[in-house]
Homo-oligomer: A and B are copies of this chain.
Amino acid sequence: MGKILSIGALATLTGCKVVTIRYYEQIGMLPEPGRSAGGHRVYDRHHLERLRFIRRARELGFPLKTVRGLLALSERADDAPCAEVDRMAATRLREVRAKIADLRALEATLERLLKQCGHTTLDECRILDAFRGEPVDAGV
Contact = CB atoms under 8 A, between A and B. Distances in A.
Interface string A89-113: 1101100110110011011011101
A77 interface: yes
Nearest to A62: B131
Task: Point out which of A60, A82, A86, A93 has the most chain B C-beta atoms below 10 A from its C-beta.
Answer: A82
B56 A121 contact: no
Interface stretch (A1-9, A35-43, A68-76): A68-76
Contacts of A28: none
Nearest to A118: B82
Contact of A117 (B86, B92, B114): B86
Task: Point out which of A56, A81, A121, A131 has the most chain B C-beta atoms below 10 A from its C-beta.
Answer: A131
A78 B131 contact: no
A52 interface: yes
B107 A96 contact: yes
A127 interface: yes
Interface string A105-140: 011011101100101111111011011100100100
Return the 7 tightest CB-CB contacts between A and B, nearest first. A82-B125, A77-B123, A79-B121, A93-B110, A53-B131, A56-B131, A74-B128
